[in-house]
Amino acid sequence: MELFEIAGGSRLKGTVQISGAKNAALPILAACILCEDEVVLHNVPDLADVRSMLTLLQRLGVMSERKEDGSLHVRVEDEMNCHAEYELVSKMRASVCVMGPLLAKRKRAQVAMPGGCAIGVRPVGLHVQGLESLGADSELIGGDMMLRAKKLRGTEMFLGGAFGSSVTGTANVMMAAVLAEGRTVIESAACEPEITDLADFLNACGARISGHGTPRMVIDGVTKISGCEHTVIPDRIETGTFMIAAAITNGELELHGGRLEHLIAVVDRLRRVGVNIERGEKGIAVSSSRRLEPVELTTQPYPGFPTDLQAQTMALLCLADGNSIIVEKIFPDRFLHMAELNRMGANLRREGGTVIIHGVRRLIGAPVMASDLRASAALILAGLIAKGQTRVRRAYHIDRGYERIEEKLTAVGADIRRLPEQD
């Protein structure tokens, strides 16, 4: 395994190119199962999760090739296998996104249930419920969800869950409904930009989807969809992470490709903290003052504050001049990074799904352990400003969602190196 070694204290300044959105690319790749012809995708990030999805698709008879220009060419060559095995699904929860397209195109899907993970239990009941509403029969056998349907029929359904709309649940049902007979109406559909990007891709392939980006999505089924050429949207979570990197180091960054309209709630909170954020010619310009104000924030489904930026924002608020409060409404147990930040001198206290952050004057470098993707980003951010050296173990977590993060940070002045872990 590898770790990141960071010498804190450098002020970041320069330009960062934002990569394509992981959470848009993964369901779009799964949707290629539906396509009759070749798909050409641009701006697909080279991430561990993307490579895992491509491996799974290859097992399902969907071949891919990345060309010299960076484009990814995807084509279905064999439709016999319908089994997404636990070996792959357990590595990446987004693998369950193949459930809808397999069922719609091949009439059956056998997908291993992913189980829990470091940020809490994330059930797939809404996925199955939505697919059953379209006419699928389901059965849990040996840890695999078996789904069958000779024909899917459009219907009206409600997809709201205990913590709001399900993004991957919406994606799964939408992909299945594309080939269902008649009209499907999804109430309480997820509104995230990644869902909109998936719908745009499917429409470019010949689907008939409207209302995407709103809580009421309408899908008129078609008999088949072809292929298309599509560019994946920029990653809003990577954008937000680098916005916080500029803020925590009192730096100045130009984030090329970043879209402010995808981060309205984040921009609102960061501006209250004291971060200067402006729309630039090629993206977003970010800088900050030396004094950081405390804030209160609550994670919510889009367009609310994203849970995927909660940990990174917590690292920033550790240095605010006062007491801040973070309420986690999406994954109430997503706080494993707290203990590691406290090891670095933070003053954090948890009460249920709420964390009270007492700002400190400085953080101190220390060896820390990343527990998940976004927690690892938070610890790297803390290391950028901490006094002394920080070592963030389990670098593989960050590779799931950030493309060459150490290279991007080094290019704008950070002192960060990737090293092999020593026993």
Q: How far is CA 16 from CA 13, 19, 172, 175, in A?
A: 9, 9, 33, 33
Any idea what DSSP says for residue 10? Answer: P
- CB-CB contact of 312 with 381 (8 Å): yes
Place of tokens 């804190």: 8
Nearest alpha-carbon partner for 254 in 13, 8, 69: 13
Virtual torsion, Cα 416, 418, 422, 423, nearest 10 deg: 110
Sign (positive or negative) of CA dihedral 269, 275, 276, 278: negative
Encoding tokens for residue 409? 């940070």
Preceding amide of 303 cis, omega within 30: yes
Angle at 338 between CA 305 and CA 379, to 5 degrees: 80
Q: How far apart are CA 151 and CA 244, in angstroms?
A: 48
- For residue 96, give Cα distances in angstroms to 167, 169, 256, 333: 12, 9, 32, 22
Token duo for residue 227 = 């292929």
What's the full length of the chain, in residues?
423
160: burial class by Cβ within 10 Å (0-12, 13-18, 19+)?
middle
The answer to whether 205 is a known catalytic residue is no
Q: Would you call 310 exposed, middle or buried from its count of C-beta atoms within 10 A (0-12, 13-18, 19+)?
A: buried
Both tokens assigned to 5: 């070694």
For tokens 């409404």, name the residue: 329
- The catalytically annotated residue of 35, 82, 117, 228 is 117
Contact status, residue 369 vs residue 340, Cβ threshold 8 Å? yes
Tell me the sheet residues that pair with 161: 164
Q: Classify residue 208 as exposed, middle or buried by CB count within 10 Å of its CB (0-12, 13-18, 19+).
A: middle
Closest to 35 (Cα-Cα) out of 58, 62, 55: 62
**What does the CA dihedral 34, 35, 39, 41 come to, rounded to 10 degrees?**
-30
Does residue 96 contact residue 111 with C-beta atoms inside 8 Å? yes
The residues assigned a catalytic role are: 117
